[in-house]
Amino acid sequence: MTIYDIAEKCGVSIATVSRVLNGSSRVSAKTKEKILLVMKEQNYQPNPFARGLGLNSMKMIGVLCEDVSDSFYATAISLIESYLRLIDWNVILGCTGRGSGLKYKHLQFLMEKHVDAIIIIGTPFNHTKDLDYLKNVAKKRPVIMVNSYIKHNNIYGIICDEETGMSDIVGKLAEKGCKSVLYLYDSLTYSGRQKLTGYKKGIATHKLDENPLLQNKINRSLEDVEQTVKKLIEQNVYFDAVVTSEDLLAIGAQRAILQMGKNMPIVGCNNSLLAQCATPMITSLDNQLEILCREAVELLTKLMNDKEVPSKMIFPAKLYQRESFIYA
């Protein structure tokens, strides 16, 4: 079934069929009706490749992240897919993996498919080669970064102010009388750097213990974090609260602390389902993914309609208090 078949069955030219297909007003009601009828009964569907060839677009957006199996990215992708779906855009998914090699290849794959824009969740790109490639991509297509940012023409960032969120947490812990806040983190993505900075600022502002042993970079694994925390306690490194860059780390830390017969406030980040599965449930800083993703898609539509958009938007984080730390 092509536009030719429809045209023939209706006794009109393909131009007329194309017009009703694209909702042109310059078609008589009668012929339009007939064409629509024939289309329906023939179950006609326009060929997306032919259309793509002419319009140079198949209404597809490339969405990239490190690893969809991670609940944070999965949630983001889910939100973005549903928002894009509402306005009839499709998602081509790409996962770069957490390894180090040749991530720009994944950008290449998307560009080869001529996606109309690229949305990047988090910070998959760090190496110069990858970043250079990304900037080149931005010359051809808009790039929207969710919870990450690179200042560059045609790259837009929708981010959460986790820095303030984190330093506020430290402030609240100080109010409660904590003196030494242990910080555990697993990566220095854009978001990771923000949180670390927030922690440091909080510590400085409230004149808390600046012992460098209290800042620990570790793998994101329950075993590793439990081991690290236990070791610190055994070595008599004093701390009276724990903040982590990620819920999983907070869960492991809490487990280790309880096992060592101690108790103290613990706060994680990302407000994932994991936080609610731990006992006691973990208080967590939510980076408001729902808002970020909604705004990312919103920005995209504005961009497609040649409207003005900000190159960077910042939204506040929100603390979800649970059993592991209640301050008010």
Q: Is 92 in the site for a second copy (CB under 8 A)?
A: yes
11 binds, among DNA, a second copy, none (CB under 5 to 8 A by kind): DNA
Q: Token digits for 34?
A: 């007939």
For a second copy, give the closer residue by CB, 97 or 316: 97
Rule CB under 8 A: choose which of 16, 75, 244, 245 binds a second copy.
75
| C-beta separation of 164 from 316 below 8 A | yes
Q: At a CB cut-off of 8 Å and minimum separation 6, what does 268 contact?
A: 243, 244, 246, 247, 248, 249, 250, 251, 275, 282, 283, 284, 285, 324
Instruction: Report the nearest approach of DNA to the CB of residue 58 (Å).
Output: 12
Beta partners for 217? 185
Among 37, 42, 53, 326, binds DNA (CB under 7 A): 53
In this structure, the number of other CB atoms found within 10 A of the CB of residue 310 comes to: 12
In whole angstroms, how close is the CB of 207 to a second copy at the nearest point? Answer: 34
Of 299, 278, 293, the C-alpha closest to 160 is: 293
21 part of the interface to DNA, by CB under 7 A: yes
Work out what residue 30 binds among a second copy, DNA, none; the CB cut-off runs from 5 to 8 Å by kind: DNA
Position 154 contacts a second copy (CB under 8 A): no
Rounded Cα distance, 314 and 159, in Å: 5
Quick count: other Cβ atoms within 10 Å of Cβ 306? 7
Residue number with CB closer to a second copy (69 or 235):
69
Reduced to 3 states, what is the DSSP secondary structure of residue 58? coil
188 binds, among DNA, a second copy, none (CB under 5 to 8 A by kind): none
Torsion angle defined by CA atoms of residues 259, 262, 268 and 272, in that order, rounded to the nearest 10 degrees: 40
Residue 184's H or E segment, with its range, is strand 181-185
Which of the choices a second copy, DNA, none does residue 4 contact, using the CB cut-off of 5 to 8 A by kind? DNA
The listed partner (a second copy, DNA, none) that binds 276, CB under 5 to 8 Å by sort, is a second copy
Which residue type sits at 109?
Answer: F
Residues 9 and 124: their CA atoms lie apart, in Å, by: 52
Residue 13 near DNA by CB under 7 A: yes
Does residue 21 touch a second copy according to CB under 8 A? no
Q: Any contact of residue 59 with DNA (CB under 7 A)?
A: no
Q: Which of 8, 31, 193, 222 binds DNA (CB under 7 A)?
A: 31
Residue 139: helix, strand or coil by DSSP? helix
- Where is 20: in which H helix or E strand? helix 14-21
Tell me if 18 contacts a second copy by CB under 8 A.
no
- Residue 2, interface with a second copy (CB under 8 A)? no
Contact footprint for a second copy (CB under 8 A): 45, 47-50, 52-53, 56, 58, 60, 63, 67-71, 74-75, 77-79, 81-82, 85, 90-95, 97, 109, 111-114, 222, 248, 251, 255, 258, 273-274, 276-279
Contact footprint for DNA (CB under 7 A): 1-4, 11-16, 18-19, 21-22, 25-28, 30-32, 44-47, 50-51, 53-55
